[in-house]
Amino acid sequence: MTEYRCTWWEDTGRHSPADEHGVMRCIYRNMETGEETDHLLPGSLIEGRSGPVGYDGKSIVCVVPYKRDGTLNDTTWWHIDSRANNCTMPEDKEHRCWCRHGTVGETVHVDKVGNTCAAGAGSIGVPGFHGFLHHGVLRDC
């Protein structure tokens, strides 16, 4: 079983220099240590700039492992406050497919306790990873 301790990061508003393909990446700062990076690892949490928002008016994103080209060597973003692909109540804008407990800077726990639909059990599934974010730890199942 693989697990990732969740850490909070904030967007600095700055970008890394362009790479050989002309791509510039956002630079993020760890809210506990001050460390800066342009590559967030699994378990990283950030406040998104757009998208659906949760009970606190914030759009929270968790970085999860992602399998690309047959190997688990990449990441993707789980927009916790968004709709699940298998949502059973897509027209209902009040419910949450994933019920997030905790906000920016706090320990986050995601489950199905709250105004929710029948989709899944509160887990996230992407190619190469299926797991839960419980009590500040992202863990595969």
User: Residue 61 CB: number of other CB atoms within 10 A?
Assistant: 21
Q: Which class for 58: exposed (0-12), middle (13-18), buried (19 or more C-beta within 10 A)?
A: middle
Number of H helices, E strands in the chain: 0, 12
Q: Is residue 36 part of a domain?
A: no
DSSP state of 96: B
Handedness of CA 100, 87, 127, 76 (dihedral sign): negative
Entry pTM: 0.93
**Would 25 be classed as within a structural domain?**
no
Per-residue pLDDT at 71: 73
Pairing of strands 137-140, 129-134: antiparallel
On whether residue 30 sits in a domain, the answer given is no
* pLDDT for residue 72 is more than 80: no
Residue 88 domain boundaries: 3-7+41-140
In a domain, 130, yes or no: yes
66 within 8 A of 74, measured Cβ to Cβ? yes
- 72 within domain boundaries: yes
- Residue 68: helix, strand or coil by DSSP? strand
Overall average pLDDT of the 82-101 stretch: 96
Tell me whether residue 132 is in a domain.
yes
Query: Rounded to an integer, what distance in angstroms lies between the CA atom of residue 84 and that of residue 75?
Result: 18
Give the whole-number percent of the chain exceeding pLDDT 90: 92
Name the helix (H) or strand (E) containing 79: strand 71-79
Q: What is the pLDDT of residues 103-114, one digit of tens each?
A: 999 999 999 999
How many domains is the chain partitioned into structurally? 1
Assess if residue 115 is contained within a domain. Answer: yes
pLDDT at site 1: 84
CA distances for 69 relative to 2, 66, 127, angstroms:
20, 10, 10
The verdict on residue 81 lying in a domain is: yes
Q: What integer best gives the mean pLDDT of the chain?
A: 95
pLDDT (tens digit per residue) in 114-138: 999 999 999 999 999 999 999 999 9
> The tokens of 37 are what?
């990076």
